[in-house]
Amino acid sequence: MARITFVALDGSAKSYDAAEGVSLMRCAVDNDVPGIVAECGGACACATCQVLIAPDWLDRLPVAGPNEASMIDEDSGERGMVRRLSCQIEVTPELDGLVVHVPSSQY
Amino acid sequence: MSIAFATPVIPDHVPENLIRPFPFVFGTITEADPFNEWVPEVHKGPDIFWTPHAYPGGTPAWIVRRTQDLRDLYFDTENFSSKDFSPYSKMIGDTWTNLPVEIDPPKHAMYRAFVNPIFTPKAMAALEEKIRSYAVEYIEAFRAKGECEYMKDFAFEFPIKVFLELMGLPLSLTPQFLEWETGLLHEPDMGKMAAAARSVVDYLRGEIEDRRKNPTGDIISYAVQAQIDGGRKLDDDELVGFCFNLFIGGLDTVSTNMGGQFAHLATHPEDQARLRANPEMIPTAIDEMMRAYAAVTTFRTCTREVEFKGVRMMPGDKVAVCTTLGGRDPEEYDRANDVIIDRKPKHVSFGYGPHLCVGMHLARREMRIAMEEFLARIPAFTLKPGHTLRRHLGMIQPVELPLVWQA
Ligand code: HEM
Ligand code: FES
Q: B225 Cβ partners below 8 Å, 6+ apart? A: B215, B233
Residue B109 forms part of a structural domain: yes
**B91: in domain:** yes
- Res B1: pLDDT: 42
A-contacting residues in B 343-382 (Cβ below 8 Å): 346, 350-356, 358, 360-361
CB contact (8 A) between residue B354 and residue A40:
yes
CA dist B234 → A36, B230, B247, B260 (Å): 34, 12, 18, 37
B334, B337, B342, B347 alpha-carbon torsion, rounded to 10°: 80
Count of all residues that appear for chain B in the document = 407
Question: Which residues from chain B sit within 8 angstroms of residue A67, using beta carbons?
Answer: 109-110, 112-113, 116
Integer Cα distance of B108 and B120 in angstroms: 18
Contact B286, B315 (CB under 8 A): no
> Which ligand has the minimum distance to the alpha carbon of residue A40?
2
Nearest to A15 by CA among A1, A27, A3: A3
Query: How many angstroms separate the CA atoms of B185 and B115, rounded?
Result: 23
What residues of chain A lie within 8 A of the CB of B355, using their CB?
Answer: 45
Q: Which of A43, A45, A107 sits opposite B121 (nearest CB)?
A: A107
A34 Cα to chain B: minimum distance (Å): 13
Write the residue in B74, B117, B361 that is nearest to A107 by C-beta: B361
CB proximity list for B283: less than 8 A, separation 6 or greater: B364, B368
Q: Which of B183, B156, B186 is nearest to B56 (CA)?
A: B186
- Among B116, B381, B310, CA closest to A40: B116
Between CA A59 and CA B148 the distance in angstroms is: 59
| Residue pLDDT, tens place only, B53-85 | 999 878 999 999 999 999 999 999 999 999 988
Among B120, B122, B353, select the one facing A40 at the smallest CB separation. B353
Cβ(B191)–Cβ(B185) below 8 Å = no
pLDDT in tens, chain A (107 residues): 899 999 999 999 999 999 999 999 999 999 999 999 999 999 999 999 999 999 999 999 999 999 999 999 877 788 899 999 999 999 999 999 999 999 998 88
Percent helix, strand and coil across chain B, each rounded to 5?
50, 15, 35
* Ligand 1 atom closest to residue B159's alpha carbon, by position in its atom list: 27
- Picking from B68, B116, B229, B346 by the largest number of A CB atoms within 10 A of its own CB, the best residue to mutate is B116
Ligand 1 atom with the shortest distance to the CA of B115 = 35
- Does B392 reside within a domain? yes
Mean pLDDT of chain B: 95
Position B8 in a domain: no
- Count of other CB atoms within 10 angstroms of residue B205: 15
Contact B353 A69 (CB under 8 A): no
Give the residue from B118, B116, B86 showing the smallest Cα distance to B101: B86
| Distance, first Cα to last Cα, chain A | 31
Please choose, from the candidates B262, B255, B263, the residue with its C-alpha nearest in 3D space to the C-alpha of residue B389: B263
Given the candidates 3.90.1300.10, 3.40.50.300, 3.40.50.1820, 3.10.20.30, the CATH classification of the domain at A2-101 is 3.10.20.30
Q: Name the residue of A27, A29, A49, A51 whose CB sits within 8 Å of the most ligand 2 atoms, as the mutation to test its pocket.
A: A49
Does the CB atom of residue B245 touch ligand 1 within 6 A? yes
Nearest to B217 by CA among B168, B160, B173: B168
What distance in angstroms lies between residue B339's CA and the mean position of ligand 2's atoms?
27
Residues in chain A: 107
Nearest to B85 by CA among B314, B271, B248, B286: B248
Residues B350-399 have pLDDT tens digits of: 999 999 999 999 999 999 999 999 999 999 999 999 999 999 998 999 99
Q: Determine the 3-state secondary structure of B308 from DSSP.
A: strand
> Which are the contacts of B102, defined by CB distance < 8 A and separation ≥ 6?
B82, B83, B84, B85, B86, B241, B245
Q: Which atom of ligand 1 is nearest to the CA of B102?
A: 40
> A86 exposed, middle or buried (CB, 10 Å; 0-12, 13-18, 19+)?
buried
A61: left (phi over 0), alpha (psi -120 to 50) or beta: beta
Alpha carbon distance B341, B338 (integer Å):
9
ipTM: 0.93
pLDDT at A105: 87
- Work out the average pLDDT over B208-231: 95
By residue range, what is the domain housing residue B263? 16-404
Q: What is the pLDDT of residues B191-209, one digit of tens each?
A: 999 999 999 999 999 999 9
Spatial separation of the C-alpha atoms in residues B368 and B238, rounded to whole Å? 32
CA distance A92 to A2: 7
Check CB contact of B229 with chain A, cutoff 8 Å. Answer: no
Assess whether pLDDT exceeds 70 at residue B138: yes
Q: What is the least distance, in Å, from the CA of B178 to any CA of chain A?
A: 29
Instruction: Give B4's pLDDT tier (boundaries 50, 70, 90).
Output: low
pLDDT in tens, B113-137: 999 999 999 899 999 999 999 999 9
Query: Which band of pLDDT confidence, cut at 50, 70 and 90, is reported for residue B7?
Result: confident
> Of the candidates A67, A70, A73, which has its C-beta nearest B122's C-beta?
A73
Q: Is B310 left (phi over 0), alpha (psi -120 to 50) or beta?
A: left
Backbone angles phi, psi at B216, to 5 degrees: -125, -155
Cα–Cα distance measured from residue A58 to residue A22, given in angstroms and rounded to the nearest whole number: 18
Ligand 2 surroundings by CB, under 6 angstroms: A 25, 38-40, 42-49, 85, 87
| First and final C-alpha spacing in chain B | 37
Return the ligand number nearest the Cα of A67.
2
- Does any domain span residue B5? no
Q: Is the pLDDT of residue B2 over 50?
A: no
Count Cα neighbours of B323 within 13 Å in the Cβ-side half-sphere. 25
C-alpha span between B151 and B159 (Å, rounded): 11
At B334, is the secondary structure helix, strand, or coil? coil
Predicted pLDDT of residue B3: 55
Give the pTM: 0.96
**Is there an atom of ligand 1 within 6 Å of B326 CB?**
no
Residue of A nearest to B105 (CA): A43
State how many domains chain B has.
Answer: 1
Residue B20 maps to which CATH number?
A: 1.10.630.10
Question: How far, rounded to the nearest angstrom, does the alpha carbon of residue A69 sit from its chain's CA centroid?
Answer: 14
Instruction: Look at residue B315 and tell me if it is in a domain.
Output: yes
The answer to whether the Cβ–Cβ distance between A40 and B356 falls below 8 Å is yes
CB contact under 8 A, B354 and A44: yes
